[in-house]
């Protein structure tokens, strides 16, 4: 399973990269706005910086437009920044058309805002490289995010669909292990959830004891 970090914060991306487990980065307009990135040139420069921080990683950069022709022109510009860029496109009729156009041009896409298996199937059919089901937002409304991952996995396996399932809107470690058990290809998670995977009270207690005993040995 690949690990992406879900942020536009350069320091957090660098921390995850330093852990040695990072395969990519996902951003969205909300995450970019949170970092105070505004203006066309600054946005493009920020994506370039992210690409440099994660050499060889897949970096999702989302189009801001919602109509076909602007999505396509924006996506072409984003894809031209760096071969690592994956153009993120929201699911919609125009989005599907744009995904198909990008696919025909050899531009990789990540279809975002996916909340049903039917949407994921359409995105795959249009040629998306990744589909991003949003687990946390489904759980927020008392639906079942992990059940959606299970359904998409089964459908993609039924037809040997190569589109990657990129589990998004991850809130905690249980989402990550759940996705791994269900066969999601990628999880994109905030740094807190990635670092949370390290934590176990027995590890902490055990290490404390080892450190105490090591001190006795070196007396
Ligand atoms: C990533 O691709 C998504 O945009 C992101 O995971 C959404 O997460 P949120 O529901 O925490 O905003």
- The pLDDT, as a whole number, for residue 58 is 98
Ligand 1 nearest-atom number relative to CA 60: 2
pLDDT, averaged per 10 consecutive residues of the chain (219 residues), comes to: 98 98 98 97 98 98 98 98 98 98 98 98 98 98 98 98 98 98 98 98 98 93
- The pLDDT, as a whole number, for residue 210 is 97
CA of 167 from ligand 1 middle (Å) equals 9
Burial class (CB in 10 A: 0-12, 13-18, 19+), 150: middle
Whole-angstrom distance, CA of residue 125 vs CA of residue 187: 21
Residue nearest atom 1 in ligand 1 by C-alpha distance: 168
Q: Which of 2, 34, 49, 88 is catalytic?
A: 88
- The pLDDT, as a whole number, for residue 92 is 98
- The pLDDT, as a whole number, for residue 49 is 98
- The yes-or-no answer on residue 2 being catalytic is no
- The pLDDT, as a whole number, for residue 187 is 98
Residue nearest atom 6 in ligand 1 by C-alpha distance: 169
Write out residues with Cβ below 6 Å of ligand 1. Answer: 6, 26, 28, 112, 132, 134, 136-137, 168-169, 188
Residue nearest atom 5 in ligand 1 by C-alpha distance: 169
* Spatial CB neighbours of 77, under 8 Å, sequence gap ≥ 6: 44
pTM of the model: 0.97
Vertex 82: Cα angle to 120 and 4 (nearest 5): 45
- The pLDDT, as a whole number, for residue 111 is 99
Among 3, 136, 167, the mutation site with the greatest number of ligand 1 atoms within 8 A of its Cβ is 136
Whole-angstrom distance, CA of residue 79 vs CA of residue 81: 5
């Amino acid at each position: 399973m690949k690990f992406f970090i879900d942020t536009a914060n350069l320091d957090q991306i660098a921390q995850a990269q330093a852990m040695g487990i990072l395969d990519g980065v996902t951003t969205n307009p909300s995450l970019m706005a949170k970092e105070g990135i505004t203006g066309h040139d600054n946005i493009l420069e920020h994506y370039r910086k992210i690409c440099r921080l994660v050499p060889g990683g897949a970096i999702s950069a989302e189009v801001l437009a919602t109509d076909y022709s602007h999505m396509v022109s924006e996506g072409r510009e984003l894809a031209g920044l760096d071969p690592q860029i994956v153009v993120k496109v929201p699911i919609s009729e125009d989005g599907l058309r744009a995904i198909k156009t990008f696919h025909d041009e050899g531009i990789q896409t990540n279809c975002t805002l996916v909340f049903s298996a039917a949407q994921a199937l359409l995105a795959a059919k249009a040629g998306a490289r990744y589909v991003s089901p949003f687990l946390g937002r489904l759980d927020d409304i008392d639906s079942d995010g992990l059940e959606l991952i299970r359904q998409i996995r089964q459908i993609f396996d039924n037809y040997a669909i190569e589109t990657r399932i990129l589990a998004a809107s991850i809130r905690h470690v249980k989402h990550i292990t759940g996705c791994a058990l269900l066969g999601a290809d990628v999880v994109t998670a905030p740094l807190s959830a990635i670092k949370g995977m390290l934590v176990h009270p027995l590890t902490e207690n055990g290490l404390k004891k080892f450190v105490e005993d090591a001190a006795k040995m070196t007396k």
